[in-house]
Amino acid sequence: MNTEKVKSLQQIIDAIKDVQEALQDPTLNIAQRKALESAKNKLREVQNDIIISSEQGLIDALKGKSDQLSTIADKINKEAAKLSAIAEKIKKVANVVNALVTIATATVSAGLI
């Protein structure tokens, strides 16, 4: 389980870096900036949840957040083609978070933790 957490955290950190770099673009309009800020905040929430939560707490904390990340990624993708790479990275993180929830759920259900 720890390996999955570390890999998930690395992808989240990479996505946060990309979002922060994109936010430096002075040509972003208000909607683009707002969508990127939402993505950054949600990614940080997920990062904190993974770091501080027990397995059961992690399951509870992350349920639905992968869907929220996907929605934010869709919003970013619609705002500008130049942000589509970031949107795809956020979608990938959403999928990783969903997989982590699945693994944690199976581990807890099997009584391994």
Going residue by residue through the chain, which has 113 residues, state the pLDDT in tens, using 9 for 90 and above: 578 889 999 999 999 999 999 999 999 999 999 999 999 999 999 999 999 887 778 888 888 888 899 999 998 988 787 799 899 999 999 999 999 988 888 888 887 66
Tens digit of each residue's pLDDT (9 = 90 or more) over 56-86: 788 888 888 888 999 999 989 887 877 998 9
Q: Is 63 left (phi over 0), alpha (psi -120 to 50) or beta?
A: beta
pTM of the model: 0.82
Q: What is the mean pLDDT of the chain?
A: 89
pLDDT at 47: 94
Which domains, from first to last, does the chain contain? 2-109 (1.20.1440)
pLDDT at 40: 97
- Give which of 86, 77, 106 is closest to 40, Cα–Cα: 86
